[in-house]
Amino acid sequence: MNLNIHPKPVLDACCGSRMSWFDKANQLTLFGDIRTETHTLCDGRTLNVEPDIQMDFRDMPFDDGLFKLVVFDPPHLINAGKRSWLALKYGVLGEHWKDDLRAGFSECFRVLADDGILIFKWNEIQISTNEVLKLTDQTPLFGHKSGKRSGTHWITFMKQGSL
């Protein structure tokens, strides 16, 4: 590892504005994102994307097996206006989104310790959860649907160590 950041047991690989976190400054967690930016949304609120480390979830600068828990909440939109509040808030996937998500899953499992937990969050408003889960060879343990239309899925994986 070639970083001046003390390793923590938890990694949020694409934290965005840390919307899911009760404690947005959780001391157990290293917050990473490809973006560092601030925006004023249409309702006047400020949206801050301020990761501890600016990084790409497709190619993370960490040693193998470093984290006990990895949170993977990548952008879920492929169609959104570049400056729309949805794009600013959640980010947008590129044209090669399948390759990007496949690489993201691979990297998340690479940096996860044996028997570590990966929490994957996905909103299937534009791409089905089943289609995304085909991009990893890992099998989820369980999950939960939430949101007004049950379109957001929280899915839990455990990296199998040597049995």
In angstroms and rounded to an integer, the radius of gyration of the C-alpha atoms of the chain is 15
Helical residues (DSSP H) of 36-128, grouped into ranges: 85-90, 97-111
The pTM assigned to this predicted structure is 0.91
The confidence band for 3, taking pLDDT boundaries of 50, 70 and 90, is: low
What share of the chain in percent tops pLDDT 70?
95
Tell me, what's the pLDDT at 89? 79
Domain definitions of the chain by residue range: 10-158
User: Encoding tokens for residue 107?
Assistant: 């990297």
Q: In this model, does residue 78 exceed pLDDT 70?
A: yes
- Say what the pLDDT of residue 2 is: 52
What pLDDT was estimated at residue 95? 93
Quick one: average pLDDT of 40-69? 93
Average pLDDT rounded to a whole number, residues 20-37? 96
Identify the bridge partners of residue 37 per DSSP, sorted by sequence position.
Answer: 49
Token representation of residue 56: 């790409």
CATH superfamily entry for domain 10-158: Vaccinia Virus protein VP39 (3.40.50.150)
User: What does the pLDDT read at residue 67?
Assistant: 97
pLDDT at 76: 92
Find the angle CA(55)-CA(56)-CA(62) to the nearest 5 degrees.
65
pLDDT in tens, 89-125: 788 898 999 999 999 999 999 999 999 999 999 999 8
DSSP H or E run through 133 = helix 129-133
